Structure 1
Amino acid sequence: MTKQKSIKEITEVLQTIDNPNDPFLLLCSQDNRKGVINAVNKWKRAYAQQEKLESKWDLMTEFERNVYNKGYQFVAGVDEVGRGPLAGPVVAAAVILPKDYKLLGLDDSKKINETKRNLFFDQIMQNAIAVGIGIMEHDVIDKINIYEATKKAMEAAIESLEVRADYLLIDAMKLPVSLPQESIIKGDARSVSISAASIIAKVTRDRLMNEYDVLYPQFGFKNNMGYGTKEHLEALRQCGPTPLHRRSFAPVKEVIHSKN
């Protein structure tokens, strides 16, 4: 009987249970002590959340499983961050995860808070078969346009992989490379490999922008990451563009013309 155990003891036992049909859990459900009821409800919420994460992981590995079933071994997810900002580089990443790897909660980097992104970044870097990063600076963006610079960043990320990919899953982009590939709309929320790449690219770029914030604190790069926030636009009008600004982007171009 659970009444022979303290609430603390019951809580400790519940932490070891992973089956909703476990006899001890069912006994606890009949215990009318408020502390036990709360402990059982907490267990049920945690179980439901775990099931939700497992289900999402299963959905997000479907593209990878389909590719493995075709005989490919090293599937690289490819994504980029930084197409929209007024300053800083566009950063791309390519990530090859082990077939049996699991990192529950992986998602589009924009949907994950900074603390978890950094944690996932470290875990991916430690456990991935290979990670490649490509960076195209503002001057390249101005020279060839952001779309072409994004492709070049992605190609550079793929080329820098220490293990050669034999298939690419790419977020909403087709690349002029010889490898077989699949472009997936909103792939960073639908494929674990692309999601992993989005995390690597996002954290890498954010850390660069944090460094640039030290050089140009008036622009608030650590907060806006180079995007055209009110604070950033005001600093741009007051101070003019930094060497990091994309001069081909309209808000920057307008400031340059207004000062000439």
Structure 2
Amino acid sequence: MTRSEHRPRRMPQVAGAGIAALLALSACSSSDSSAKSDSSASASVSDKLSGDVTVFAAASLKESFTTLGEQFEKAHPGTKVTFNFGGSDTLAASITSGAPADVFASASPKTMKIVTDAKDNASEPATFVRNQLEIATLPGNPDKISSLKDLTNSDLKVVLCDKTVPCGAAAQKALEASKLKLTPASYEEDVKAALNKVVLKEADAAVVYKTDVKAAGDKVEGVNFPESAGAINDYPIALLKDSKNAETARAFIALVQSAEGQKVLTEAGFLQP
């Protein structure tokens, strides 16, 4: 066998090895390029989040949203989340009157609708949590309140949220379903104001949310009542179309809806949607 007869066998092996090496090199190069591209894209998205975001949110969200705002600012240096907490109806009126805001988180679909109906002022709302009522009493429950009916006792000083506020509308729904009539000592502008009356011992009891009773700690005592199951409020959140910082506002909404955000909210006593 001559030397020239060996060449045809060796040449394909060398070529095959060369091609394999080239393919492997190409794959590595492609993988590295893809990784760099993904990393670059991720950094680019992160870098884009900056500036201020103003969130109008129901008073009952104060503790949990404050925590989420701090988490958001830490995750995205250069951003700042400013909150305006209050009764959902008051916040809705402010927004429709032109108050600058990027996000609206309401304690009921009804108050959100005030905003969405006003000249298509917001994106499609999404329910992110729900909340249930509870009776807040003085520490130790000295009046032995155990039911919604007990609140109709004329010797008790009871406060409710105003009927136009979601927590007040829910309380009214529970009372009507139970065929109970309750004349409160006062109607308060939002759930925190109603709770504060009990905290300051200016009232014997208040119908508020479970989340507010939990946030108050040992300053009040909570009493569950079965009628509350029929008056649970859905909480919708929406991006306002006049937002000056829509991308960062969307990112905050995404945090609220994320597993991390839901954990903060459920730990505060909210129910998942």
Structure exhibiting the larger radius of gyration computed from Cα positions:
2
Alignment TM class, shorter chain as reference: under 0.3
More helix by share: 1
Higher relative contact order structure (alpha carbons within 8 Å, sequence separation ≥ 6)? 2
TM-score by length of 2: 0.26
More strand by share: 2
